[in-house]
Each structure stands twice: as C-alpha cells, then as structure tokens.
Amino acid sequence: MSELKKIKNALISVYYKDNLEPIIHKLNQLGVKIFSTGGTQEFIEKLGVNVTPVENLTGYPSIFGGRVKTLHPKIFGGILGRRELQNDIAQFEEYEIPEIDLVIVDLYPFEETLANTTDESTIIEKIDIGGISLIRAAAKNFKDVVIISSRSQYNYLLDLLNKNTGSSALSDRKQLAAEAFHTSSHYDTAIFNYFNTAGQQAVFKQSIAGSKTLRYGENPHQKGVFYGQLEAMFDTLSGKELSYNNLLDVDAAVNLIAEFKELTFAILKHNNACGLASRAKLIDAWKDALAGDPVSAFGGVLVTNTKVDVETATEINKLFFEVLIAPDYDREAIELLKQKANRILLKQKPVKQTEKTFRTLLNGVIEQDKDLKTETIADMKVVTKLAPNEREKTDLEFANKIAKHSKSNTIVLVKNKQLCASGVGQTSRVDALKQAIQKANDFKFDLKNAVIASDAFFPFSDCVAIAAKAGITAVIQPGGSIKDKDSVDYCDAHHVSMVMTGVRHFKH
C-alpha cells in the first residue's frame, strides 16, 4: 500500500464556491490549518471556520486590483519544498514557511468569458496567473501535495478525506496531478487560440475537455472515443448510446438541416441525404422525404427543424431508424417512439458550432474553415438565354443546399422542394448523374421540369445533355471550366436554363 501523507495545511483560493462547504467543515474537523484569499476567505469565515489570510503569511496585501495575491516565496516554497530533502527542510524552518499539503484552486472562467463578450479588457482580466501557477507547482510536487484543480473533483476529495482520515496516498496524488496538468494545458490552449485567431503562429493546438468511450469505432475491430460534450448539444430522450457511425450521421444531419428555414424533414444514410422535403405541414414533409428513397431510409438518421407531433410520429414509427433529431417533441410523440428501446431520440439545443474543421492525415493534421457559404437566389448568375422561372429558382437554391452537404462527386435532382434522387461519392460526374436519374426512375419520379445541382463545374457538356434528355429544365453549378461555353451552348440549343454561383462545394 502507498505511504499515506497527512494533510496539515491547506491553501484554498477558488472562483466558484459551489459544494465547497462540506470540504471546509471536514478539513476543520481534521484539524487542518487553512490559508485563503479574498472572496474565498470571506466565504470560509461566514461558515464559522478559522482561516488565516494569505497576507498574514506573506506580509503583503493583495495588490494591483487583485492581480497579485499568492505569488510569494512563502506560498510557493510551502508547496514546492521537498519534504524528504534535509536542505529543503532546513529552509522551511529558516524562513518560517509552512508545508502546504493540499491546494484547492480553480481558474478564472476564461472560456466562458470569451463566449459571452468580445471586450478585450474583460477577456484579458480573466487570464489567471496566480491560480495556474499554484496548480502547476502543486502538481509538480505531487509526491507531497494534493492538488484539486476543478470543482468537479470536490466529491472525490471529500471521499478521500473521509476514507483516509485526512491523509492521501501517492497514487491518488499522482492521478490528481495528471488531471491538474490537463486543466492547465487546456486553459493555456484556449488563451493561445484567442491570441492566435488570425493564425499568426503556424501551429495546430486544440484541447477538448470531456470524452466518451464508444462501443467501437467505424468497425467492431476498431476502438473509438468521442471527445467533447454531447450533452451541451442534445438531450437524449431515449435509446442506446450513440455509436461512431451514428455520430458521423448526426453531424451530417445537423449541418444539413441548419440550411433550411422553412419546415423541413431529412433522412440521411452514410452522411448523405437520401430523402428531404420542405412542406407547410410536418406530416407532408416526412412523407415526401421518405418517398425520395424508402429503401435507403431503413436504418437511417432522421432530422427535422420543428417539433415532432404525434401524427407524424405515428407514421415515423412504422420505419426502422437509428436516430431522430428535433428541436422538440410532443409528449405523446415521445411515448410512442420510445416503445422501441434502441431508438435514439435527441432533442437538439441551440448551440453555436465550431467554424473550423480538422482531421488527421498522413503524419499530421489538416485544418480548414468550415464551409459556411450558402448561395441564395440573389447569388445566381444566369448564363443562358433562357432564365429559370420562380419555381425553378426556388428548387435550384434548394438543390444546391443538398449538393453542398453531399459527398463529391455529386448531382442532386429536385422538383417542388423535394429531393427526387442524388448521385453521390462518384469518381465521375457523369456517373453521379446517371445514378441519380436511375434512382429517380426506380422510385417513379417524373423528372419533367425538375432541376439539377452539381457541387462542382461540368468539365464537358455531356452532363447537361443527359439531364436535358431526362426532362431537366434548369441547372445550377459553380462554373469555372474552360469548357463552360460548351455546356451553356447545349442548354441554349435545348431550352434549358443554367445559373452559375462561382462557389464550389467539394465534400470528401
């Protein structure tokens, strides 16, 4: 068993006082001498517990508006002094430095402040100096010191104090030190990224607090972990744990549905929309989304941007699906959909998402701005003699949104704000178009007067020729091919309108 070390002196200086009271009373009961500062000192005094102000130890008051309180040799010496070295022991006595065996400190809420204001002076004042120094010092000397660096550890500390009657084992101290260095590195990363917003320093630094071990990764033989806080984005109302593949689909679904302001329902499979429709009523949006590909919808991820009512839930309940995401649900709808225990029902919260994306690649990481560009009708440049009519313009905008969120190469077919079919992830744009037309025909869609969207330019006129023969009357694409004129000329000769946006939406 690890040697137990008795806690004789504690330094407590925290921003958040929640759940601190039981610890104070326990330390007092154990006869531990408590040193403290400012608001924490006042909090302890109000509990009727003896506390020694840090100023009494250092001989200096809190100065510079509280910027300097604990930065003093009598504090850091008490934390960093090595109890097993005779020279350090002699200096403890010579300079009348108490051995500080427990440090409880948290940090100014830098990330929370950053999320709530853009005022630089306010943000800068929330960069902790004394706290971060205390955390690192105590963690470095884990052989002698217990470091509590987060209020989330208060229950753990209280259990430790009760179990060992005020003593700590080396294994506990080392584990807490590891958590402390995580706290300090995460904090410093957030500060660095604030100062490096423009990317002046060409380095990649990310720190994500919180993690969840998944059942497995993309396949059962691969391990998987999600790093982040899903509970900040979703309330899980029912169902099993999200898998790695579920998470990929949920991410795709949330990003896709965010494009639509009108009441919309979408069905995704392997990160691509296989059904999507915008309608005045949710039940109609669901039925028309399902009609897009009722085969692929089996086992899919469903998402909508409005409350799920019991009428729609009754129809959804007929389908086997993995996940349903909505901003809200009628109570009766939840009870109905929960009848199948493994179904995952998520209530999405209004959380701002990241504006950067990154992934591992080769022996490093690539990072880019998230694709936040969405073209509207106003961005469409008519390049043919024939201009699209109002219905076609609306469908072109609709189709372009879906193409943006589909795997390249992709072609999307739309009619009356309903996804008729799409060809996705093809090595040839012609193959993507042929795949889309074949699927639309399989599910009995009439493509006369439908529109198509392409995520990138047409290198030749073959795609518009195939589309026109299928009944397509309007095309949206970025443009940019050296042979754009060939596609435009074909459209002019066959009474097809074409608009260009100048924006490509590759997605790999």
Length of the chain: 508
> So which residues are the catalytic ones?
140, 270
Report, in this order, helix, strand and coil percent for the chain, each rounded to 5: 40, 20, 40
CA distance 45 to 325: 49
Residue 385 is encoded by which pair of tokens?
């003699």
**Contact in structure between 12 and 43 (CB atoms under 8 Å):** no
| C-beta of residue 291 within 8 angstroms of C-beta of residue 432 | no
Token pair of 33 as six digits = 């001498």
All residues at 6 or more sequence positions from 33 whose CB lies less than 8 Å from its CB, including other chains: 8, 9, 10, 52, 98
Looking up tokens 């999307």, which residue turns up?
A: 412
Please identify which residue in the block is written with the tokens 């690539």: 366
Q: How far is CA 365 from the centre of its chain?
A: 18
Where do the DSSP E strands lie in 7-83? Answer: 9-13, 33-36, 52-53
Q: In what order do the strands lie in the sheet with 264-269?
A: 234-238, 344-348, 321-326, 300-304, 264-269, 272-278
Distant-in-sequence, close-in-space partners of 343: CB < 8 Å, separation ≥ 6: 238, 239, 321, 322, 323, 324, 337
